[in-house]
């Protein structure tokens, strides 16, 4: 049964869309219609901003304890709806249900709880010489989020903004928006004051640009493609608005000579293929010693064999479909580009996986003998495609890792933690994991270079939504 949404959440109420025009949301596993959502207009976007602006003074003067308690209650309700959220995002995005419950539902739940606690414990004032430094909310936040980790990215922005005392207008991705409606229902249920949180769906060029350009939005928090991020910055710059951008990545995973390949390569495959490679921080460039290229190839192919795609709802697999037909086509075009430019295809390809005639599936694919100048090594593919790049010296490996427009994440495997840490210090990215270190939702997430501006998650993500005022005495 198709889910039908026909309203926006504005000023604490569900407001029916003025236009009958809708956008389709397809099930990534079948390609069939999963839901429809309303198409917002500039006038409706403006109404949402006006509601957020009207609510700001009251909300920012609400005690941090009370704000934190609201966020804790939202977290608890998200936890109660974890199964529904996981199933929704498995349909929208294609992450297998088992992984979706822990990642797509679990991390946002923890993020709301963390920011609730942070609001209650944060030191809002500091004495520096004859000044009192006061931390205050940045104002009305326009939050624009992507489809690949939809509720996670929403939580990164909304939870931190609300904890800081900001009000929010959220424009979720039109590709994966139903999870945002679940959050809005929860926010309504816990009784968040009117106008503090507003949800409007639609397209980026209309709704997204309207909330960025509105004179009453003070801070823009955007996650998405680098091209769209540049457009957001361009619009915001006309009014000198603060902007936080979390954009693309092409992260390198360096395997040093003394690394334990039996551990490093299976981990590398997982870190590349998670969410069907639809992860901005995916470790998609595997940089390996030339002397061990053959051994790495064998281990990579053997490990990737465990990532055969399957139905995200019933398949019990580690990898599902891509989010849409457009994304499937995009990834297959990159695979063809790799072949055309001379990379050696050792696994996968452009054909539909066997036994999956429907759905937006792509075979897990591995290229070897990739040169870092090739398109597949420089551009973000956003699919299950790994590029193995050989090197001759440690210095060359570091240079390859840093030879990118991006600087979001990275990895280093070495025989010792000390050596891995030494090399990690030389990689110009916002995060680096060493010897398989896991993702930390309390550590700052964001990038160097064209991977963006600012940080999300934890203390640093919370502080993005604050201004600093010095009061001299």
Q: Do both 293 and 340 map to the same domain?
A: yes
In a domain, 32, yes or no: yes
Q: Do both 239 and 297 map to the same domain?
A: no
Q: Among the options 280, 380, 456, 463, which is catalytic?
A: 280
Q: Do both 221 and 258 map to the same domain?
A: no
* Rounded Cα distance, 159 and 151, in Å: 11
Q: What is the pLDDT of residue 241?
A: 97
Q: Do both 260 and 234 map to the same domain?
A: no
In a domain, 401, yes or no: yes
* Rounded Cα distance, 400 and 405, in Å: 12
In a domain, 446, yes or no: no
CATH of residue 184:
3.40.605.10
**372 φ, ψ to 5°?**
-65, -15
Q: Do both 223 and 276 map to the same domain?
A: no
CATH of residue 428:
3.40.309.10
Q: Do both 20 and 141 map to the same domain?
A: yes
Nearest Cα residue to 29 out of 277, 329, 321? 321
Q: What is the pLDDT of residue 360?
A: 95
Q: Do both 256 and 240 map to the same domain?
A: no
In a domain, 445, yes or no: no
Q: Do both 217 and 348 map to the same domain?
A: no
Which residues constitute the domain of residue 194?
A: 3-247+451-472
Active site residue 13: no
Residue 453: beta bridge partners? 245
Q: What is the pLDDT of residue 315?
A: 75
In a domain, 332, yes or no: yes
Q: Do both 387 and 291 map to the same domain?
A: yes
pLDDT along the chain (473 residues), means of 10: 96 97 95 97 98 98 98 98 97 96 97 98 97 98 98 98 98 98 98 98 97 98 95 97 97 98 98 97 98 98 96 91 96 98 98 93 98 98 98 98 98 98 98 97 96 97 98 97
Q: Do both 147 and 262 map to the same domain?
A: no
In a domain, 222, yes or no: yes
Q: What is the pLDDT of residue 322?
A: 97
In a domain, 12, yes or no: yes
**Neighbour-count burial for 216-233, b at 16+ CB within 10 Å, e otherwise:** bbbbbbbbbbbebbebbb
Domain count, the chain: 2
Q: Among the options 44, 92, 209, 246, which is catalytic?
A: 246
Q: What is the pLDDT of residue 316?
A: 84
Active site residue 280: yes
Q: Do both 269 and 214 map to the same domain?
A: no
Q: Do both 284 and 347 map to the same domain?
A: yes
Stated pTM of the model: 0.96
* Rounded Cα distance, 419 and 131, in Å: 44
């Amino acid at each position: 049964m198709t889910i039908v949404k026909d309203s926006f959440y504005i000023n604490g109420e569900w407001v029916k869309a003025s236009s009958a025009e809708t956008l389709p949301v397809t099930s990534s596993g079948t390609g069939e219609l999963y839901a429809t959502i309303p198409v917002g207009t500039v006038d409706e976007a403006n109404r949402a901003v006006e509601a957020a602006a009207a609510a700001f003074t009251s909300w920012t003067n609400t005690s941090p304890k009370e704000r934190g308690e609201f966020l804790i209650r939202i977290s608890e309700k998200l936890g109660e709806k974890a199964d529904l959220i996981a199933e929704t995002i498995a349909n929208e995005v294609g992450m297998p249900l088992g992984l979706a419950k822990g990642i797509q539902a679990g991390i946002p739940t923890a993020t709301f709880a963390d920011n609730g606690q942070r609001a209650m414990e944060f030191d809002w004032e500091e004495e520096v010489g004859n000044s009192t430094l006061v931390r205050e909310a940045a104002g009305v936040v326009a939050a624009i989020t992507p489809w690949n980790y939809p509720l996670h990215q929403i939580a990164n922005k909304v939870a931190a903004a609300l904890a800081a005392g900001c009000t929010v207008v959220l424009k979720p991705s039109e590709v994966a928006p139903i999870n945002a409606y679940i959050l809005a229902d929860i926010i309504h249920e816990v009784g968040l004051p009117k106008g503090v949180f507003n949800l409007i769906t639609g397209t980026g060029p209309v709704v997204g640009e309207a909330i960025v350009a509105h004179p009453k939005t003070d801070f823009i928090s955007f996650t998405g493609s680098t091209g769209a991020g540049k457009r957001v910055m361009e619009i915001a710059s006309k009014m000198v608005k603060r902007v936080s951008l979390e954009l693309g990545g092409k992260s390198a995973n360096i395997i040093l000579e003394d690394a334990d390949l039996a551990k490093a390569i299976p981990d590398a495959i997982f870190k590349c293929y998670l969410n069907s490679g639809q992860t901005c921080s995916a470790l998609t460039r595997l940089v390996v010693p030339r002397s061990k290229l053959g051994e790495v190839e064998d281990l990579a192919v053997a490990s990737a064999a465990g990532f055969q795609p399957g139905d995200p709802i019933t398949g019990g697999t580690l990898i599902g479909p891509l989010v849409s037909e457009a994304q499937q086509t995009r990834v297959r075009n990159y695979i063809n580009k790799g072949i055309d430019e001379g990379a050696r295809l050792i696994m996968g390809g452009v054909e539909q996986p066997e036994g999956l005639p429907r759905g937006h599936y792509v075979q897990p694919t591995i290229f070897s003998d990739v040169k870092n100048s090739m398109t597949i090594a420089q551009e973000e593919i956003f699919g299950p495609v790994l590029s193995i790049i050989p090197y001759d010296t440690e210095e060359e490996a570091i240079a390859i890792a840093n030879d990118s427009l991006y600087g979001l994440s990275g990895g280093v495997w070495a025989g010792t933690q000390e050596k891995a840490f030494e090399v990690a210090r030389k990689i110009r990215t916002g995060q680096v994991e060493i010897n398989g270190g896991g993702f930390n939702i309390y550590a700052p997430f964001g990038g160097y270079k064209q991977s963006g501006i600012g940080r999300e998650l934890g203390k640093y993500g919370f502080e993005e939504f604050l201004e600093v005022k010095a009061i001299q005495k």
